[in-house]
Amino acid sequence: MDYKYIVISTLDLEKSKYLENLVKQSSKSLSTEFNPKELIFKYKDNHLGYSIHSLLILDDNVIAAFTCMPRKIDNNSILVGCDTFVVKEHRKNIFILKKLFESLQKSELSMNYSLILGVPNEKASLYWNKIAKWEIKSELDIVCLPVIHGFFKYFFALIYFLITILFFSKRKNKLGQNLDDLKKFRNYTSINNVYVRNYVEHNKNVSYMFGFSKNTRLELAHNIFKTIIKNGNSVVLVGYNTPLKILRVNKFIKRKFNIHIKYFDQLILKDIVFDIAILDNR
C-alpha cells in the first residue's frame, strides 16, 4: 500500500483537503461526534494558535492520526498528545502509531518543545511504553471529595475547608501551567481564578476544578468551599504533584492513569506541577 506520512499544523489542516475526512474518521474511531468548527477551535486554543497533526494518508484518505496540542509550563512549551487513532482496517500494522510519532518528532513543527506528555488508557499505555518507547513516570493524582446534596453541603464544604488547611502540601519551586491563553475556560464558571465545570459521571453529579495546582493553602481551601456551596456536587481534583496529593484515592480506582513522557531537553516531570486543565480536551 502507498502510505504517505505527513505532519502539518492546524492552520494548514484547516485549508487542506484532509480536514473533512479527518473529522469523519475521528468521529468513527473515537466514538465521539466531532464537527470541523469545534475541532479547529480546540486545536487552535493555545499560546501558539495551532496544534501539530501527524497523519497517515492512503488514497487521499486519513487512515491514522496523532495530534499534539501545545501547552505552556511557565516559560516552557510542551506538547500533550490527544485524538490518536488508526482506522480498524489498518490496525494489524502495529507500528503505524510509532511512525506517526517519529514523523512528528522529526518535523520542524516540533522544535523548541521540552517534552511530549500523554495519559493514554490502560490498553494504549502498554503500546506507548513498549513499542513507542515513551517512559511511564507516574500516575495522575486523583482526589475525590464526596458531598451529599441539600443542606448537608454546608457541612461538607466546611469539613473539606479544614481538611485542605491540614493536609495541604505546597510544591515549592515547581514550574506550573499557564491557562491565560486557553479560551475554552472562559465558558466555565470561575471562582477566584480557578475554573469549574460540572459533569454527570456514573449517574452522579460531580464538579471538576481546573487551574488549582498553584493555589496557596487558603486559595485552594476557599475554592473547594465555594465550589461545593455553589454546585452542591462532589468535587474531583486531578493532576500531578498537586497540593492535596496526600489525599489521592488512586488505589480505590480500578483504572490506572499513567503519565507517559518523551523528553526533548532538560525539563523533567518532577520539576512540574499541573492539574487536569493541561490534559482536558473535552
Residues 217 and 161 in one domain: yes
What is the tally of helices (H) and strands (E) in the chain? 7, 14
Per the listing, cell 502495529 goes with 94
Domain boundary residue among 113, 133, 168?
A: 113
Contacts 24+ apart (CB under 8 A), 100-107: 100/5, 100/54, 100/55, 100/56, 100/64, 100/65, 100/66, 101/54, 101/66, 101/132, 101/262, 103/5, 103/6, 103/7, 103/54, 104/7, 104/52, 104/54, 104/66, 104/68, 105/262, 107/7, 107/52, 107/54
Per the rule left: phi > 0, alpha: psi between -120 and 50, beta: everything else, 39 is: alpha
Residues 104 and 152 in one domain: no
Residues 87 and 15 in one domain: yes
Residues 182 and 222 in one domain: yes
Residues 105 and 174 in one domain: no
CA pair distance 215, 220, nearest whole angstrom: 5
Residues 85 and 146 in one domain: no
Query: What single DSSP character describes residue 115?
Result: E
Residues 60 and 154 in one domain: no
Indicate whether 257 belongs to any domain: no
Indicate whether 83 belongs to any domain: yes
212 and 220 in contact (C-beta within 8 Å)? yes
Residues 165 and 237 in one domain: yes
CA pair distance 273, 96, nearest whole angstrom: 32
**pLDDT score recorded for residue 282:** 67
Residues 186 and 109 in one domain: no
Indicate whether 31 belongs to any domain: yes
Indicate whether 190 belongs to any domain: yes
Per the rule left: phi > 0, alpha: psi between -120 and 50, beta: everything else, 158 is: alpha
Q: For the chain, how many structural domains are there in total?
A: 2
Indicate whether 135 belongs to any domain: no
**pLDDT score recorded for residue 32:** 82
Indicate whether 280 belongs to any domain: no
Residues 10 and 109 in one domain: yes
Indicate whether 275 belongs to any domain: no
Residues 108 and 151 in one domain: no
What CATH number does the domain containing 26 carry?
Answer: 3.40.630.30
pLDDT means per 10 residues in the chain (282 residues)?
91 94 88 88 94 95 95 93 92 93 94 92 88 91 93 96 92 86 90 92 92 92 96 95 90 83 89 91 68
Indicate whether 228 belongs to any domain: yes
Collapsed DSSP state (helix, strand, coil) of residue 207? strand
Measured in whole angstroms, how far is the alpha carbon of residue 164 from the centre of its chain? Answer: 24
**pLDDT score recorded for residue 255:** 76
**pLDDT score recorded for residue 228:** 97
Domain of residue 52, residue span: 4-113
How do residues 123-161 score in pLDDT, each as one tens digit? 889 899 999 999 998 899 999 999 998 889 999 999 999
Domain boundary residue among 95, 113, 131?
A: 113
What does the block give as the cell for 273? 506541577
Residues 154 and 220 in one domain: yes
145 and 167 in contact (C-beta within 8 Å)? no
Give me the residues paired with residue 129 across strands: none
